Structure formats: C-alpha cells, structure tokens
Structure 1
C-alpha cells in the first residue's frame, strides 16, 4: 500500500511530523480516501518507507486508535467501520456548500459602533486617566492578597463573589452612596457588560420587551439582543427617560435599563419626581428596573442624587456599579445590588452561569477599599477631573465663541458639544479621527425617530498638555465640514 503522500510537501513549518502524519491519516479515513477495513502497514514498515522514526508512526496510530478511527489487534492495524460512513468530499469547485454563519441573535453584536481602538485617543469617552492610578497602594494590596492566598482564591469564587469584597462594598455603598445594603445583597460581576448580561438572562425571558434609553448605551443593546429580548427605544429629555402612556400600553416592558445619575451619553440627570413615578409604574406592571449608576462617583456640584435603589423598600430595582472608570477597565470587576427577595437565588444562578473567578483580585480590592485607598483615590480623581473639565470648557468657548452649546458635566468624564443641524456630527467625527482625535458622534448612540446632532467629548484621558492642541484639531474638523457644506 503506497502511503508516501502522507508526508509529501507542503508540510506545515511549525507542526511536528507526528502531528502531520496523524492529521493526514485522520483526514483520509474520515473522507473515505482510505476505506473501512483497510489494513495499514506495520509501524516499522511505514516508518521505513517514509524515512521517519517508528515513534512518530506509533504516535499517529495510537491517537487514531484512541479516537476510534483505527483498530489494533493481533491481526494488525486496520481502519475501523465508523458508525457514520464517510463519503468522498466533492471538489471545492463542484461543491454547493452551505456558508458557515453565526446565529440571528449574534447580528446585534455585529452592528456598527464606536471603535474600541479610539479609547487611546484624546477626547475618547469613557477612558479614565491611567497616569493617576495608585500603583503603589494597589500593588501592596495585591502582594498581600497573594501572600495570604489559600486554595479557595485559586478556584472559582464563592457564590456572589468573595465574602470580604462583598462586605467591604456594602460598607462603602452605605457610607458613600447612602444605600443601606448588606453583603448578602451584593453579587460580584465581570463589569457592567457582564452585569447587564446576567440581568437580561436571569430577569427576562426570550421575547420579553426591554426599554432602552434613546440615545443610550450601545453595549446594553448587545447584551439584551444576545439574550433574545426585544429592545424598545424610549426617548430621553432634560429630566431623563421620558416614556409616554403609549409606550406603557403598546410596549409593556419586563425590564427597563436606565442611567439616571448621569445619563449616557447626554449627561442629563433624572429628576426625583421622574424617578418616583417610574418606580410606581414598575411596581404596578411587574417590571424590573436596571439602574446603572454610571459615573456617580465623579459628581461635580454637591452630593449625587439619590439612587432609585432604596427610594422605596422592596422595589423591583437592580443596581449596577463598576470599577472600570474609578480604577481601570482591565480589572474586569463590577457588582450588582439586589433586593433581598431574589439576592440568594440570583447569586446561585450567577455562579452556575458564569463560574466566577479572580479570587486574588477580589481579595486585593476588598483590602484596597477597607484601608481607605479607594475613597482617597476617588477624592483625588474627582478634583482632577473637575479641573480638567473647567479647562476644557474654557478652551472650547474661546475657540467656538458664544454660539457654543455644551451639556452634561454634572458628573462623569465627558461633555456633549451640540452642532448646528447643517453640520453632520458623523462627518465631523470622521474628520476628527483622521486628525488623531477620539470624539464620537452623538447620533451614533441614537435610534430613529430620535434625532441628535453633536459630539461626545471625553476628557478623562485628556492630558493638560494635549488639551489646547486637541481643541485646535477639533476646530479644524468642524470647520472642514462647515466649509464642505457651503461649497456644496
């Protein structure tokens, strides 16, 4: 039996010969090129004819025997009779192949959105100031966590997360955010996106309606769509989410996702009457409210408005927080605060759905919070971001004059610069990207029929030395599009 083709060129450069021999034999068997019952040469004979070591042949034979492709006994080695008979594959040019494709639900994750690479550019929204990260104190906490680590920290995290972190977070939220919660109500997650995914899957069923802010957080739509929920867009006005009676009647929601403390991306704050009214309607309709307390840690003027969570006892509200902006995104840690009625079951379901880990990082973060490092870091960053926003506002007003309209800025790390309707924000954002800026078009966060025209300007990563140069380039981007409009 001629088997010289098994190691004929071309050979993969990085693959060992024993793997090449195994793969080519396996492919020949599964395709029917070598028929069932065919007797293969003895290992010594095949090794000699191919001029390779016998161990190389033995490896391929033994692997294929283990997989059920070959049978080895006193009579020799032969191709097994597979339960599903292989067929000769047609040549590619003759094949009428069904294309490989993702599920229909996956289409929502493939929709155009802001490029993640823009996060390193000036004015990119949602990017914190990495240069101010407290490396020394964080490293100390990490080293202490490793020194004190046991086998539990090396395995999956406990249901709901590390008990020490949940306890530290409960104290922090009670003291700083005014939420009277205990550790049993907290579930540690892999950040905001993971928290939204859990809420979508554990609080909603396939086909349920979820309300999303318009304009709003694009990644939330991805989480809801992948969970099989139907997204209904509700407009945002100066007081936050503004549902109409028609929305409640024609699109009754199972879930409502809001960013009331600092709406993303407009920066607007939901009024207290609007918050109370939303809670009452949710209680009447059996609706869950997902409250993403986005950027509330970086409040500018006075204390942050009260969270919806806690305004009314036992209300159907889930509170989401994250350390992506306050520490760094790569930490991939966030948390959910849940009503007592579902907290234990939600934690058990989360452990089965996600198999949480990061035991060392969770223990280090608990230590970081307990020792006051986290609160001190927030205080320093709040002052830094406030000064940076003041400088940016002044530079923008000087560059664009009295016609400039800015919104947001009460909290968070970005401003919205509104543009005249004759200047398309998408064109300005494209030109700005070519000039090395990470601004985003406000319309890219918006779904029809809502119309918004402006630029989302992040200043978290905008170093002082780059501020004036960044504004100069932004002026060029806007003027370029304005000139194009007049010429056309």
Structure 2
C-alpha cells in the first residue's frame, strides 16, 4: 500500500473537497499509475478509517464506488484491485503525445484556416452585426409567452426534424412575396443558422472528393463546410458584376457552386442578370447545384430588393439558403434551406435521420412574430435606420479618406473600403481593433491574399449610431495614413 494513502492526512481546510472525494481520488491515481498493482488487496475499512481518522462509512462508500467504476473487485476475502493492464500506459502516455494532438485530427481539420479574428463583436463598425438595441424585445417576449401557452409542455419536446410547420409556412409565404422564391412550406427546412444550411447542402448533395466552387473573396463559413465534406475547392474571382467563371472551368464541372448574388460578401457586388441566367443554364447542363446564399438582401437601400436567383426560372437547380441572424439577431441561430421541388421528396428520409427537431419554443415564437406582422414592421424600421447609418458612414469616409474608393452600398450592413497595396489591410485591421473599432480585412476572406489580389477594409454600420461615424472614421484615417508612412519608410 503506498504510504501516501495511509500516512498523509486528508485536507480539512475550508473549501477543500470532501474526505470521500479526496480518498477516492487517491485510490484512482494509485491504481491508474501502477502503485497499486492488479490483485493487490486494499486494507480493511476499519484499519483505514483508524489510520486516516475518518468515519468508517466514508471508507465504505469509497470502496463501493471503486467497485462500481471497475477499479476494484469485492469478494469474500475483501476488496482487491481489478486487472487493468493498460492503466500505467494511460497515465504515462500523455508525455509522448504532442500538445496540439495533431495526429488525432482528420486531414480536413488541417485544411481549415481562420478567415478573420471575430474580435469583440460589441465594438463599433463590426461587419454583419445588426442594431441589437433596436430589436423589439418586448414584442418578442410576448410572442414567446403566447407560443408557450399554446404548445404547453410539448414546446419542450422534440419537434419536426424539418422544423415547426407553422414556421416553415411563415417562411415560405414571406419568401414568395418578398424574395420571389418559388416554394411551398414542404420545401423549407429550418436549420441552425445559415451555417447549418450550408453543411446540410454538402451532406445531401455532394460526395467526398467532388469539386466545389466559391467566390474569392468570399464567406469563410462555406469554405469550412466544403472542407468538412472533403470536397476539392476552387476559388472564382469577383468583379463589379459578381462572380466571374472562366468558360474553360466547365471542362471539370463542380458538384456545388456557392454564390451571394444579391449582395456579394464582402465586396457588395450584385450578380448581373446575364451571369445569373448563364450560371443557371450551365449548372443545369452539367448537373450542378447552385447554393444561393441570400444572407442580408432584405436591406436594400436604393429601389426595390433584387429577386432571388431561385425564382428566375421554374425548378432552377438552386439550393436557397437564408438566415434570421441579420434581420433579427444572431443569437437566435435560426436559418433555413429551400430545397428544389424535384429534390425535396428524395431527401425526406435522409433529413429525418440527419436532423433532430429542437428549439421548438424559439421556432414557434418566430412563427408568431412573423404571422402577427412584427417581422415586417421590424424590417421596415431597420431599412430606414440602416439607410441613415450607411449615408452617415459614407459622409465620414468622404470627409476623412476621400482618396480611397468605396465598394458596395446598395444593400446590407457593411461597406468595403479599398486600400492601396502599400497599406496592408491585415495590419490596419489589427491596429483599428486595438483602437476600439472591429473592422475586417478583405484579404482574410480571400485565397488570393498571398498574391495581394484583395486589400481593403470591411466596415460595418449596423451596430453603430450615425453620430459615431465622424470620430471613428477620423481615428481610422490616422491609422491608415500611419500604415502608409510606415510602409514608405520600410520601402
């Protein structure tokens, strides 16, 4: 018997673990470390309680727990250490394992590179962050209360794997009217945000090793979803009319093509109608699926919202993805996928196995929020607010950085400011964050950053009051010009 078990007193100081827990831990460490070899007999409960000055019931409880967990075996002769041949290896193997544990990770994990440090999302100028302090929280709470009263305790149970029927119906009705999407409620699948919808597209419609195309620069979440599906990824450049696909690329067509046609992320470009129709035609010709990521198109600031690609032609080969993270609040974590009518029936059995219906109360409350008109009224208020804030941001940029071009602006919650090559956007973004502004670096969204193809700042205006832009952009201009001087000196 190791001397520490018998001679070292148990810790009786305030806040220490109970004597039972301490003694149990001692035995476990001794058994796993090999100090108590298999078959060795544990001391009698009487002798051990006398030695350690503890109640006999404490020792009895420890022995019973050791037997229950498989560390020991009890028979007529007493309690003995169980045979655990791998015990010493378990304890001592950690010394030979690299701290990063890389040999235990799949290859796909090593291919996932961070797009940008999210930083403190409470800071001003955070891209994609809505005006959370303008959300009608009291109306939302009333919707939750009504939903809970109607559903009762069943709101706490599992729901339909595809989402609550009332919410699917509300989403389908909204998309038909507001986005021109051709769909019925049966085609709508409620997901864990847009990221859940993207991952579902990969699981349902792609196989490992197949090709996938995405925009460059583009949304990092889709790259992660494609990597997780072991797909071969090819980046397609973006210009002022959206994604540019070289006709020669169709010699090796992909399985999935991800685009943000109504408001390209992060440049803000709108995919032209000619390119939309051409992409649909080629995708249909080659048996590809287009993932239309319509993440914030509700907030169009000039004219009417641009209809979705999905509704341009009947039964288009488009998987339509949307989210409530921008229109309501990101913590809601509710998104959706609209399946083509031709694919919905075949995917039904797989969806029932892949998904588990949850977040019922939130889904029922959202259905109530939409059906009662609160969603439409909130969107109207936010469109006016974001239009005002974007104009204030443009005014501040023109006043303090007039020499730099601004991209985007017709939709969404951010503008993109182009920087000269001599001003690395990563360094400016880091310095801005240290100064209390959470702007993003365009290069972090691009696979072409090594060639210096994209260099700029993604500046959010959703979570920033109009009167703040003047002082903030003045401070940002100081950082930009300081970076230019530093690069000039270094050159």
**What range describes the TM-score normalised by the shorter chain of this pair?**
over 0.9
Superposed, 1:20-419 pairs within 5 Å as: 20-82=22-84, 84=85, 86-87=87-88, 96-97=96-97, 99=99, 100-101=101-102, 102-109=105-112, 111-250=113-252, 252-346=253-347, 348-401=349-402, 403-419=403-419
Number of residue pairs matched by the alignment: 483
Task: Quickly say closer, same or farther: Cα 1:90–1:377, change in 2 above 3 A.
Answer: closer
- Residues 4 and 50, structure 1, Cα contact 8 Å, conserved in 2: no
The range that moved more, 372-381 or 112-121, is: 112-121
Residue 47 (structure 1) shift:
2.3
Task: Quickly say closer, same or farther: Cα 1:79–1:371, change in 2 above 3 A.
Answer: same
Which residue matches 2:441?
441
The range that moved more, 67-76 or 386-395, is: 67-76
- Residues 214 and 450, structure 1, Cα contact 8 Å, conserved in 2: no
Paired with 2:186 and 2:288, the residues of 1 have a C-alpha distance of 23
The range that moved more, 13-22 or 114-123, is: 13-22
- Residues 208 and 254, structure 1, Cα contact 8 Å, conserved in 2: yes
Task: Quickly say closer, same or farther: Cα 1:59–1:414, change in 2 above 3 A.
Answer: same
Residue 33 (structure 1) shift:
2.1
Paired with 1:345 and 1:67, the residues of 2 have a C-alpha distance of 46
Equivalent position SS for 1:270: coil
Equivalent position SS for 1:417: strand
Paired with 1:9 and 1:106, the residues of 2 have a C-alpha distance of 47
- Residues 32 and 91, structure 2, Cα contact 8 Å, conserved in 1: no
Equivalent position SS for 1:126: coil
Task: Quickly say closer, same or farther: Cα 1:350–1:22, change in 2 above 3 A.
Answer: farther
Paired with 1:265 and 1:347, the residues of 2 have a C-alpha distance of 34
Equivalent position SS for 1:257: strand
Paired with 1:17 and 1:198, the residues of 2 have a C-alpha distance of 50
* Cα RMSD for the two superposed structures: 2.4
- Residues 162 and 355, structure 2, Cα contact 8 Å, conserved in 1: no
Residue 91 (structure 1) shift:
6.7
Residue 107 (structure 1) shift:
2.4
- Residues 421 and 452, structure 2, Cα contact 8 Å, conserved in 1: no
Tell me the TM-score normalised to structure 2 length: 0.92
Paired with 1:294 and 1:443, the residues of 2 have a C-alpha distance of 21
- Residues 425 and 454, structure 1, Cα contact 8 Å, conserved in 2: yes
- Residues 108 and 221, structure 1, Cα contact 8 Å, conserved in 2: no
- Residues 413 and 460, structure 1, Cα contact 8 Å, conserved in 2: yes
Paired with 2:345 and 2:17, the residues of 1 have a C-alpha distance of 50
Tell me the TM-score normalised to structure 1 length: 0.92
Equivalent position SS for 1:429: helix
Residue 40 (structure 1) shift:
1.3
Residue 299 (structure 1) shift:
0.9
Task: Quickly say closer, same or farther: Cα 1:420–1:89, change in 2 above 3 A.
Answer: closer
Q: Deviations over 1:138-187 (max 9, x none)?
A: 11101112222334321222120111111111111122222232111011
Q: Deviations over 1:164-216 (max 9, x none)?
A: 11111111112222223211101111101111111122221112211110000
The range that moved more, 287-296 or 146-155, is: 146-155
Q: Deviations over 1:220-276 (max 9, x none)?
A: 2112212222221111122211111232224x2111111111000000000111111
Paired with 2:445 and 2:176, the residues of 1 have a C-alpha distance of 33
Q: Deviations over 1:312-353 (max 9, x none)?
A: 222321111111011111111111111123324545434433
Q: Unaligned regions of 5+ residues in structure 2, if any?
A: none
Paired with 2:6 and 2:186, the residues of 1 have a C-alpha distance of 61
- Residues 322 and 335, structure 1, Cα contact 8 Å, conserved in 2: yes
- Residues 289 and 317, structure 1, Cα contact 8 Å, conserved in 2: yes
- Residues 32 and 88, structure 1, Cα contact 8 Å, conserved in 2: no
- Residues 241 and 269, structure 2, Cα contact 8 Å, conserved in 1: yes
Residue 481 (structure 1) shift:
1.3
Residue 367 (structure 1) shift:
0.1
Equivalent position SS for 1:120: coil
Which residue matches 1:483?
485
Paired with 2:420 and 2:401, the residues of 1 have a C-alpha distance of 12
The range that moved more, 441-450 or 463-472, is: 441-450
Residue 6 (structure 1) shift:
6.7
